[in-house]
C-alpha cells in the first residue's frame, strides 16, 4: 500500500529541519498534516532554532486544529503532539502517523494505525531514488539530536540494502 498522506509529530519535524532533510517530506507525500499542538511545540524554540524558524515558512504543510483527543489515545497518557497525531490518524486511517516515541508507536499499533519513524522515511526516500544512501542521512539525524541505537541503525541500513 502506497502512503500519500501523513500526520507528523514534532520530533521528526525538528530533526528533519535540523538535519536539512525536511525537503524530503513533500517529495515523499502529497499531504503533510501538522496538528496545531505539534506546530506550537516546534515553533516555541524561537528565532535561534532552525525548525522553529523554518516550519512557519514552508508551503507544503497543512495545519489542523484538533478539538479533542480520542479516548482510546488519551488512555495512553502520551504527550500533546503524539496524542493529537494519533487521534487524527485514528479518524483518517488512510494516513500514516510519523512518530518516533516508543509509547506512541505501541499505542498506534494497538489501534491499527500505520506508523513510520524518521529512519523509515529515509528508507522510503532511498527506495524512491531521492537519496543514494541512508548512511549519511542517518548520521545527519543523529547529529541533529535523534537518538538511534547502533542496532536500529544496522536494521535501517539492512532494510535499505546497505
Q: pLDDT, tens digit, for every residue of 20-59?
A: 999 999 999 999 999 999 999 999 987 788 999 999 999 9
**499542538: which residue's cell?**
37
For 96, the 3-state DSSP assignment is strand
Structural domain harbouring 52? 5-159
The CA–CA distances, whole Å, from 93 to 13, 88, 155 equal 21, 9, 27
The 10s digit of each residue's pLDDT in 73-121 is 999 999 999 999 999 999 988 999 999 999 999 999 999 999 999 999 9
**What domain count does the chain have?**
1
Alpha-carbon dihedral sign for residues 116, 118, 124, 127: negative
Report helix angle 36-43 to 80-91, nearest 10: 150
Q: Cell 541505537: give the residue.
A: 149
Q: Please report, for the domain that includes residue 9, its CATH number.
A: 3.40.50.1010
Label residue 1 by pLDDT band (50, 70, 90). Answer: low
Amino acid at each position: 500500500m502506497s502512503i500519500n498522506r501523513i500526520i507528523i509529530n514534532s520530533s521528526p519535524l525538528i530533526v528533519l529541519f535540523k538535519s536539512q532533510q525536511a525537503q524530503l517530506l513533500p517529495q515523499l507525500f502529497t499531504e503533510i498534516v501538522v496538528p496545531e499542538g505539534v506546530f506550537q511545540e516546534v515553533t516555541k524554540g524561537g528565532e535561534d532554532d532552525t525548525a522553529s524558524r523554518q516550519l512557519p515558512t514552508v508551503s507544503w504543510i497543512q495545519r489542523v486544529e484538533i478539538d479533542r483527543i480520542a479516548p482510546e489515545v488519551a488512555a495512553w497518557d502520551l504527550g500533546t503532539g503524539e496524542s493529537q497525531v494519533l487521534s487524527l490518524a485514528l479518524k483518517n486511517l488512510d494516513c500514516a502517523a510519523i512518530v518516533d516515541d516508543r509509547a506512541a508507536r505501541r499505542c498506534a499499533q494497538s489501534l491499527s494505525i500505520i506508523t513510520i519513524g524518521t529512519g523509515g522515511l529515509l528508507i522510503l526516500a532511498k527506495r524512491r531514488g531521492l537519496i543514494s544512501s541512508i548512511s549519511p542521512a542517518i548520521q545527519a539525524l543523529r547529529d541533529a539530536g535523534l537518538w538511534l541505537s547502533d542496532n536500529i541503525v544496522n536494521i535501517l541500513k539492512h532494510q535499505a540494502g546497505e
